[in-house]
A = this chain, B = another copy of it.
Amino acid sequence: MRAENQPADRDTTPDIAQGFPPPPDKRVTLANWDAPPFNRWAFQHVREIIPTVEVRRGGRHASRFESDPQDLDGLPLTSHDGAPTTLGRTLEDTFTDGFLVLHRGRIVVERYLNGMTDDTLHLSQSVAKSITSGAAGVLIGRGVIDPEAPLTDHVPELARCGYADATLRHLLDMRSGVRFSEDYGVPDSDVSREEIVCGWKPRPHGSDHIPDNMYDFILTLPKEREHGGPFLYRSIETDVIAWVMERATGTPLAELVSRELWQPLGTERDANFTVDPAGFASADGGFSATLRDYARFGQMYASGGRLNGRQILPAAYVDDTLAGEPEAFAGPYKDVFPRAAYRNQFWIRDVDKAQFMARGVFGQMIYIDPPNEIVVVKLSTWPDYLNLGFLMTTLAAIDAVTEALCG
């Protein structure tokens, strides 16, 4: 975590990647793209840095949002460090690029900052996990995949690695026993190796032992404890879910998300996933879409799986997503969120309140509060992977907005 109030970082943004050529220290490269301040430009331009595959929205008309615009910029808030502030200032202070509030399905607030517009695709990092889970939910509803069946039913070669006797259920809740160290920015952690494998970072000289694609990488991962233990956040579990879905359907993930979600949701723009050298789409974090299209996805969950007069996702899968076990929740957030859980690739803020979130590093969030009929999307480019202060401030802002709208 770092000190707040660093407007200097934000002010440098207009210089990034500008000019023909940009000055060397302002170029966005595969080596620096997710580091501040380069991420402020890069998260809106991922396809210009990494190969990507389209998630087609299809030929139908985009669904329309009704809107009921309200000026909540001056809404008084208390920042996580106790200082008085406002919603508008909080959006700027937390490096926001896009912020959208739906109440009863209508757009109440829609704000773009840092050059983002309503048709900009913005990387959402681990929000991709929840998107992938949504597609999985459709397939589970159809009986194409079974959460309780061994993964090896579809991907027999997983028998060679730590996933040998795991089920989809273990992965959906991140409770397999496979070793995968999720230490961002630490050179030899598994997640850092994964970034090389999936094409997000340059391959350093002398790293020929690291596989050149995600499928092979998954097969190198050992088991370190029994499957079904407490929740442990490991990005790779989502990639294994995607692999199972692809094998079960014979269809690439990008096409599955298009067919099962992006088309029926009536989205406005084609989205995309980054892809690795074997064509594997980064199910765990490589998804980019527009602010409103993320809101459509969130609204589908808020409406029990329905949108546009159609049951896109089985209601049972939405209910199941809220049935997380706080007893299994562990990790650094346990103190702050004692009734939290992780289920079906969503973070449940409080199982008793049925509020849940898709979240991604550097400040991405789709917040879903069905009882209050609230959906909030916040896309950001924090200067840090994780920042508990920013997270708490964001949740305080969402609570204040909810109070103002639902009071």
Q: Which residues of A contact B (CB under 8 A)?
A: 17, 20-22, 27-30, 45, 47-54, 205, 213, 215-216, 243, 246-247, 252, 275, 277-280
Contacts and interface: CB of A to CB of B under 8 A. Distances in A.
Contact of A215 (B20, B49, B275): B20
A47 B51 CA distance: 6
The 4 A-B residue pairs with the shortest CB-CB distance in the complex, in nearest-first order: A20-B246, A21-B215, A21-B278, A48-B53
Nearest to A280: B21
Contacts of A51: 47-52
A48 to B, nearest CB: 5
Contact of A53 (B20, B47, B50, B275): B47
Given A22-B279, A47-B47, A47-B52, 8 more contacts: A20-B215, A21-B213, A21-B216, A21-B280, A29-B277, A48-B51, A48-B275, A49-B51
Contact of A27 (B53, B54, B279): B279
A34 to B, nearest CB: 15
B53 A22 contact: no
A17 B279 contact: yes
Contacts of A28: 279
A50 B53 CA distance: 11
Nearest to A54: B47
Residue in A17, A246, A279 whose Cβ sees the most chain B Cβ within 10 Å: A279
A216 B21 CA distance: 9
9 contacts: A20-B247, A20-B252, A20-B280, A27-B278, A27-B279, A48-B51, A48-B53, A48-B279, A52-B52
Contacts of A213: 21
Nearest to A56: B119
A54 B49 CA distance: 12
A259 to B, nearest CB: 15
Contacts of A275: 48
A54 B45 CA distance: 10
A278 B22 contact: yes
B205 A277 contact: no
Contacts of A54: 47
Nearest to A53: B48
Contacts of A48: 51-53, 275, 279
Contacts of A20: 215, 243, 246-247, 252, 280
